[in-house]
Amino acid sequence: MSPLKSGTCATCSKEDVKLRPNPFTKEEECEDCRKSGKDAIIGITDIKNQFGLKEADLEGLQMVKEAKPAFVGGPDYRWYKLKDIEVRAPEAKKKLEEEARAKEAEKKEKEEDKEAARIAKEEDKKAKAEEREKKAATKEAEKQAKAEERKRKREEKEAAKPKKEKAVPTRSNPSRGAGARKSLAEDADEDDGKKPVKKRG
């Protein structure tokens, strides 16, 4: 690229200024008009830094390439119209905010679903615990009922058995008692080697 020539700006009419062609209008302009005139241009690097736009945000906008000076090297300049970028920036920002809100809503929905799943799991766990307790209580009640039934049957069986009558002691006969005492006395005399002495009647 040859050195920049000097002359009068086609946009602002300034004289004796360094001129460069506007890639869109092909008019020779000073640097100020290229940056802020009615047909101002802006490069991709400044678009990203000043407006925070990404490559995808520039889709559909008119773009013109310009070769860099040989001593600079690298890929060609990519120029966009500043007025297009100023319109696209708020649109892109709005879109970004909408996407952020949608993402936040999706995140919230997932958290709510996760919380609902957690609550459902806890309720299911609680219901199963209550069911186990109910079964245990039923089993214990059945066990108790069986024990009561066995006890009742034993009692019925005992009640069905014939009762034994107790012997009622009778009064001893005085005469028999005297005879018994006499016999005992006689036995005692025999034990002493004595003959029993008969009493005269």
**In degrees rounded to 5, what are phi and psi of residue 192?**
-85, 0
The torsion of the CA quartet 159, 161, 167, 168, rounded to 10 degrees, works out to 30
Would you state the pLDDT for residue 135?
93
Q: Decide if 80 contacts 57 (C-beta within 8 A).
A: no
The pLDDT value recorded for residue 181 is 54
**CA-derived radius of gyration, the chain:** 62
| Regions of the chain short of the pLDDT cut 70 | 1-2, 164-201
Confirm if 66 and 76 have CB atoms less than 8 A apart: yes
- Is residue 24 within 8 A of residue 64, CB to CB? The reply is yes
Where are any strands of DSSP class E within the chain? 5-7, 17-21, 28-29, 41-43, 63-66, 77-81
pLDDT at residue 28 in the model: 94
The answer to whether 12 and 33 are in contact (CB under 8 A) is yes
- The confidence score (pLDDT) of residue 30 equals 94
